């Protein structure tokens, strides 16, 4: 009797199955699966020369670029859990994550290399140093163990300290196959990745590309003009976007139309306004709303093709291998009752890295408690009312108020702080801070203080000072009240 | 941390996800997934009233019909390993398989019910008896354990005694997802099942239908006129055929053309002549040759879309989750060297039911030794030279000479017997027997004797008597020599 917990090294398998199909398009460059596998194998041996071995935790701080894709696959080939670092974070935040995951190595590139000065006793390589290294022959992974850790991505929470989300090879595999059973797979499919590949939204496109055998059209950054061009000329069939991107695409598109090849605008990363969805419907743009997070290795709930124009505002139903329920006061509730969104499935993380307590809190009987609020309608379609009540989503990036508040509170002149997300036409939401001071303070100084410690997008766009923060009887901050103060 | 070895009851999940899509088309009837699930649930409760419980081994002897599909899903809902019986077998063969699998129950229909008279101490129900039963509430399977036995199908071997091939829920799941990564999945897909659903070729279409959410166009029997009609009018996009069916389709098609919707003629069940493949190529028919067997839960090696017209004669490359190698004298050999085809993957059976010795012989280090002969070309495409050297494939049905020889030898007047497959323009091959007699015997009497004990298609079409069978020094029958005697 055979145990099936492994899968052949997927890049190698793909390169064997369809060597001449295009794997990556980037600017004017096209890379086939054969070339990608060949390049990743060389890089794996160069990384080996640098001292990286199976099981070594490696942090990656790189932009959207084919080199980053080579690096990601090379690390999978060696069998290294890879910590994907967000290059929008501050040096202090990066340093914290690198230490928290206990990465022995960091691989990065200019200009980020200077940010890592203070990350002591780690070995830091620029990508060029790796690419200039000699090779060392080491055993590469013929098979991936589905339960092995593939990637780690940090996400914050109510505590204000980010947690590393473990994503296994199995998580990525089941995410890709779960998605294909909903969205289908056409011979001419090509997926645009203009979202960061250090986020699960981008990383998962790279995995799907290899598992499906389709090209990823990789962009260093989101550029609505270039992307609209691809969608108009029919060279891409699917794109992952957040609502801020969708707005920009629509605005730039004007009266033009997308090619009939284009079949899926996969819209995730937070709520979208009904007016935006209706505008898309009017233009015949096939928007598939989706709900997912780092912990679910991208989508877990997505609209199906036949519902994409009928169920505006809903995120749809779970992917085939995944399950969903709504829990209120510890009990599963029926349709049309609001509660916490609770999910299960082989694409859900096995847990947070070295966070026993958080794991105990978030996982119960095999279900993951997302902290987000929503309800299921009678037919079982999910409506997400609020990402976890305090979560701010700004241009697709998650901002946890507690994390920003912790930084503000660390300033000696600050007594209390409350951070909330305020609607913004460009970014969806932006963080704003309300503070109570111990002593007079120039608010600009406070802003600069935050900029040193936080990623730019997390720094409050507005600071106001008040006598007292709105709290309830048990002293809990009333964020809804706070929001009104900014409007 | 969560263990992922289960999947939600797939029919129930599909009915929740896309209730209004068509699941089955049969004659003028259309059944949605919602209706299929509702009906299967009712039947499950009726089966429960009849005494069937989780873990009960149930044999199913039924034709291609929606009722059979209800029964299959109802048995999955209860959690019963289901033995799919081939209604072309003789009563004696059926009885043997029912006993071998130790089925407590047999479910059948007219006219097969009379064949089961001698199957003692089993409880036999006709489908009408089940459908007329009251219901009993029992717990149904919310989740399928991927390692649980779903279906059992008998296949013979060199010993002459059929063995039950265990197919788990996981085998069917991975088979379906492995196939979709190669063939893709379109919104308008619809799969014709005109092959028997008691065979893996048909049963696997039913599972794909539920997992993909696409209709199966079910036919009681293969009828080239009706099927060509569906392929010409574009209501089906994929069909599974064996080469005898493909020949009949081509002949009937004449100068007409298939609809552009039609995208895959999945050709399995043994070798196809190059002239047949070239005829298809000339007519622009997208033939995907495939190699698979009961033990691999249908396809394991299949041509990819871009190769279907380029690599005539090859069965292609393994499905994404599966692996293949060629072994000769106990060692893996390189390209262009003939040897035994050895496979591995999560779609491969965990083993034969209660056959310790056969399992030890067929499985080594997680690889399954097929007994078939073939080679891989330089690019890794499989060419199947011979199904296991003695296997006869007649109209898609496997015939194992040893099984037929055992029956002939059981006749008191026969001393020796050798059975081989002889080319036949209609069936691909037909079995023919060469015998050495102990005493004079009317060969017609021998034929009647065989007809009592064997399925019709296994009964030799020709008997000849000789003085001696061709054998080598170690007394092994030389089947190739024998073949020449019939030509």
User: Under DSSP, is residue A247 helix (H, G, I), strand (E, B) or coil?
Assistant: helix
Give the minimum alpha-carbon distance from B258 to chain A in angstroms, rounded to a whole number: 19
> What's the CA gap between A209 and A197, in Å, rounded?
13
Residue A155 has pLDDT above 80, yes or no: yes
Q: Chain B: residue nearest A21 by CA?
A: B306
Other beta carbons within 10 Å of B310: 11
Say what the ipTM of the complex is. 0.86
- Asked if B34 contacts B60 with a C-beta cutoff of 8 angstroms, the reply is no
- When comparing pLDDT for B414 and B385, which is higher? B414
Give the pLDDT mean for A374-396: 84
Is the domain defined by B6-145 classed in CATH 3.40.50.300? Answer: no
Tell me whether A215 touches chain B (CB under 8 Å).
Answer: no
Per the CB < 8 Å rule, is B184 touching A185? yes
Is residue A134 scored above 60 in pLDDT?
Answer: yes
Please give the C-alpha separations between residue B96 and each of B89, B352, B453, B454, in angstroms, as whole numbers: 11, 16, 11, 12
> Residue range A63-72: average pLDDT?
98
Kindly state the tokens that stand for B323. Answer: 């692996």
- Say whether residue A348 is in contact with chain B using an 8 A CB cutoff: yes
pLDDT exceeds 90 at position B151:
yes
Q: Do A321 and B181 touch (CB under 8 A)?
A: no
What's the pLDDT score for residue A395? 85
Q: Does the beta carbon of A316 lie under 8 angstroms from any beta carbon of chain B?
A: no
As its CATH architecture, domain B392-485 has 2-Layer Sandwich (3.30)
pLDDT score of A57 more than 90:
yes
A286/B contact by beta carbon, under 8 A: no
DSSP string, B320-359: TT-EEEEEETTEE--TT--EEEEEESTTS-SEETT-HHHH
Q: Which residues of B touch A174 (CB under 8 A)?
A: 4
Among B16, B187, B321, the residue with its CB nearest the CB of A317 is: B16
Residue B471 DSSP code: B
B-proximal residues of A, 414-473, CB under 8 Å: none
- How large a percentage of chain B has pLDDT more than 70? 96
Supply the CATH classification number for the domain A392-486.
3.30.300.30
Closest CA to A306 of B246, B18, B375, B166: B18
Residue A415 has pLDDT above 50, yes or no: yes
Residue B184 and residue A181: Cβ atoms within 8 Å? no
Residues of B in contact with A260 (CB under 8 A): none
On chain B, the residues whose CB falls within 8 A of the CB of A19 are 379
CA-based nearest residue in chain B for residue A142: B323
Distance from CA of A356 to the nearest CA of B (A): 10
pLDDT, mean over chain B: 92
pLDDT confidence of residue B445: 93
Mean pLDDT of A64-70: 98
Set of chain A residues whose Cβ sits within 8 Å of the Cβ of B303: none
User: pLDDT of A449-473, one tens digit each?
Assistant: 999 989 999 999 999 999 988 876 6
- The pLDDT value recorded for residue A391 is 80
Residue A476: predicted pLDDT = 66
pLDDT of B186 higher than 90: yes
- Interchain CB contact of A145 with B (< 8 Å): no
Mean pLDDT for the stretch of residues A238-258? 92
CA distance A262 to chain B (A): 14
Looking at residue A209, its pLDDT comes to 98
Topology of domain A170-386 in CATH is Rossmann fold (3.40.50)
> What distance in Å separates residue A321's CA from the closest CA in chain B?
6
Q: What residues does CATH 3.40.50.980 cover in chain B?
A: 6-145
Q: Check residue A480 and give its pLDDT.
A: 77
The verdict on whether omega for the bond into residue A110 sits within 30 degrees of 0, i.e. cis, is: no
Q: Where would I find the H helices in B429-478? A: 443-453
Tens of pLDDT, residue by residue over B192-241, are: 999 999 999 999 999 999 999 999 999 999 999 999 999 999 999 999 99
Strand B351-352 versus strand B163-168 pairing type: antiparallel
The residues of chain B that CATH labels 3.40.50.12780 are 170-386
Cα–Cα distance for residue pair A192/B352, rounded to 1 Å: 46
Section A2-6 average pLDDT: 61
Handedness of CA A465, A471, A475, A477 (dihedral sign): negative
Rounded to a whole number of angstroms, the distance from the CA of A328 to the nearest CA of chain B is 22
Task: Please give the span between the terminal C-alpha atoms of chain B, in angstroms, as a whole number.
Answer: 65
Return left, alpha or beta for A159; rule: phi > 0 is left, psi -120 to 50 is alpha, else beta: alpha
The minimum CA-CA distance between A55 and chain B, rounded to whole Å, is 19
| pLDDT band for position A388 (cuts 50, 70, 90) | low
The predicted model gives B292-318 an average pLDDT of 90
Contacts of B181 in chain A (CB under 8 A): 177, 180, 185, 211-213
Q: Select the more confidently predicted residue: A485 or B224.
A: B224
pLDDT, tens digit (0-9, with 9 covering 90-100), for A109-132: 998 998 888 777 789 999 999 999
Query: What is the pTM assigned to this prediction?
Result: 0.88
Lowest mean pLDDT among A23-37, A287-301, B467-481: B467-481
pLDDT at site B400? 82
């Amino acid at each position: 009797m055979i145990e099936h917990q492994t899968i052949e090294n997927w890049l190698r398998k793909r390169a064997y199955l369809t060597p001449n199909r295009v794997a990556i398009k980037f600017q004017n460059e096209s890379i086939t699966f054969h070339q990608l596998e060949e390049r990743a194998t060389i890089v794996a041996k160069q990384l080996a020369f640098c001292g990286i071995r199976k099981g070594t935790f490696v942090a990656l701080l790189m932009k959207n670029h084919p080199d980053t894709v080579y690096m990601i696959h090379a690390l999978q080939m060696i069998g290294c859990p890879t910590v994907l670092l967000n290059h929008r974070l501050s040096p202090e935040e990066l340093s914290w994550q690198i230490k928290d995951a206990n990465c022995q190595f960091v691989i990065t590139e200019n200009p980020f290399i200077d940010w890592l000065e203070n990350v002591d006793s780690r070995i830091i390589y620029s990508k060029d140093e790796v690419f200039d290294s000699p090779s060392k022959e080491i055993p590469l992974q013929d098979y991936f163990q589905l339960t092995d850790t593939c990637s780690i991505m940090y996400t914050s929470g109510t505590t204000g300290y980010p947690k590393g989300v473990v994503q296994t090879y199995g998580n990525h595999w089941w995410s890709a196959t779960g998605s294909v059973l909903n969205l289908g797979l056409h011979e001419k499919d090509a997926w645009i990745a203009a979202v960061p590949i250090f986020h699960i939204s981008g990383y998962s496109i790279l995995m799907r590309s290899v598992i499906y055998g389709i090209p990823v059209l990789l962009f260093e950054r989101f550029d609505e003009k270039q992307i609209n061009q691809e969608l108009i000329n029919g060279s891409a069939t699917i794109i992952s976007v957040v609502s801020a991107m969708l707005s920009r695409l629509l605005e730039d598109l004007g009266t033009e139309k997308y090619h009939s090849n284009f079949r899926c605008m996969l819209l995730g990363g937070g709520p979208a306004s009904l007016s935006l969805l209706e505008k898309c419907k009017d233009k015949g743009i096939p928007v598939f709303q989706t709900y997912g997070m780092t912990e679910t290795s991208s989508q877990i709930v997505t609209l199906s093709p036949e519902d994409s124009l009928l169920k505006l505002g809903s995120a749809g139903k779970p992917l085939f291998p995944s399950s969903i329920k709504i829990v209120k006061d510890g009990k599963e509730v029926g349709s049309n009752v609001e509660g916490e969104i609770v999910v299960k499935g082989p694409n859900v993380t096995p847990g947070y890295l070295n966070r026993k307590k958080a794991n105990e809190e978030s996982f119960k009987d095999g279900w993951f408690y997302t902290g987000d609020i929503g309800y299921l309608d009678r037919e079982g379609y999910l409506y997400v009312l609020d990402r976890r009540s305090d979560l701010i989503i700004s241009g697709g990036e998650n901002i946890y108020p507690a994390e920003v508040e912790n930084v503000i509170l660390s300033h000696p002149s600050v007594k209390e702080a409350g951070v909330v997300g305020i609607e913004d036409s460009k970014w969806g939401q932006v963080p704003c801070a309300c503070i109570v001071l111990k002593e007079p303070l120039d608010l600009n100084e406070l802003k600069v203080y935050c900029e040193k410690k936080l990623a730019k997008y997390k720094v409050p766009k507005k600071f106001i000072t008040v006598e007292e923060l709105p709290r309830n009887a048990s002293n809990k901050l009333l964020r809804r009240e706070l929001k009104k103060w900014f409007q």
